[in-house]
Copies of this chain bind each other. A is one copy, B any other.
Amino acid sequence: MNKQYVLGIDIGGTNTVIGVVDARGNVMGVTSIKTQKQACFSDYIDDIYEESQKLIESLNVSDSIQGIGVGAPNANYYSGTIENAANLRWKGSLPLSQLLYDKFGLPVACTNDANAAAIGEMTYGAARGMKNFVMITLGTGLGSGIVANGQVLYGSDGFAGELGHIIVKRNNGRLCGCGRIGCLECYCSATGVARTAREFLDRDESPSMLRKIPVDEITSKDVYDAAVNGDSIAKEIFDYTGRILGEAFADFAVFSSPEAFIIFGGLAKAGNLLIEPIKEAMEKNILFLWRNKIKILRSELKDTDAAVLGASALGWEAGNQN
């Protein structure tokens, strides 16, 4: 019998979304559970199993699941474990793939959210047909998944591709959650945009729509709305963010010579407000070998499905190894 579906599981800090996906990236059905309800990790795995079974039975695809792909914070492709994820209640090293395999009896592969997004984009999205590209997820932080020669780059320990932690300001940089100073994600992420807004508004008294919002409550969405309405400080914030990201992209190019950078996540919705300054700074700073050669693309995965699609794409890989 043809096994034409995979199960994609996206583990977030709040919700765990489970979907059944076909080879073309159609989400046949989707369900979700609260991630942090259970004190014990294996009870949480039981919850995933029960909810998945309901979904699978409702779709009548019980014998057609080829494998399971999971995207989860700090998930390690090599070990199949979640390692000390800051936004989950269970600490230490969690045997995610093993426990799921024990319950489902299906091949399981897991990786972190950004690598899952890269695989999703390569399987169903903007990177179809590409063998070399870099996925950049611009959410609360900056995540990345690097694809080289058609494979996700995992490195010696499964943790390759933490491009949010390149240091872009060695002097007077912002303090990063990782404890160091000046990391890229302190500037180029939703949080980074909000920090830039506070800094820029604090510089002087020039007028801005953003001044109507208490300064500590300004989000990247507020900055976007103001920029779209012509606010010059808001536009300047996107120019600044895009410039730093474009300079970083020029440096990333010398590493893996990608065909494209694909941006994804909340901040990527800013579209040309962000992409134009990225392109300008990247071209201005890039080595002649790559001038006018590397594309900046937006993800082609539908927002609501993207995380599950990314995770599911890994399920094909898991299934094919068996």
Binding site for B on A (CB under 8 A): 131-132, 146, 148-149, 151, 153-163, 165-167, 170, 178-180, 247, 250-252, 254-259, 285, 287-290, 293
Contacts and interface: CB of A to CB of B under 8 A. Distances in A.
Copies, count: 2
A303 B68 CA distance: 50
Main secondary structure of the interface of A (DSSP, over half): loop
A287 B254 contact: no
B289 A155 contact: no
Contact of A156 (B156, B254, B259): B259
A181 to B, nearest CB: 9
Given A155-B258, A170-B247, 16 more contacts: A146-B256, A153-B153, A155-B256, A158-B257, A159-B257, A160-B256, A160-B257, A161-B254, A161-B255, A161-B257, A162-B254, A162-B287, A163-B255, A166-B251, A167-B285, A255-B255
Among A153, A156, A287, A288, the most chain B Cβ lie within 10 Å of the Cβ of A156
Contacts of A255: 146, 153, 160-161, 163, 252, 255-256
Nearest to A153: B148
A1 to B, nearest CB: 33
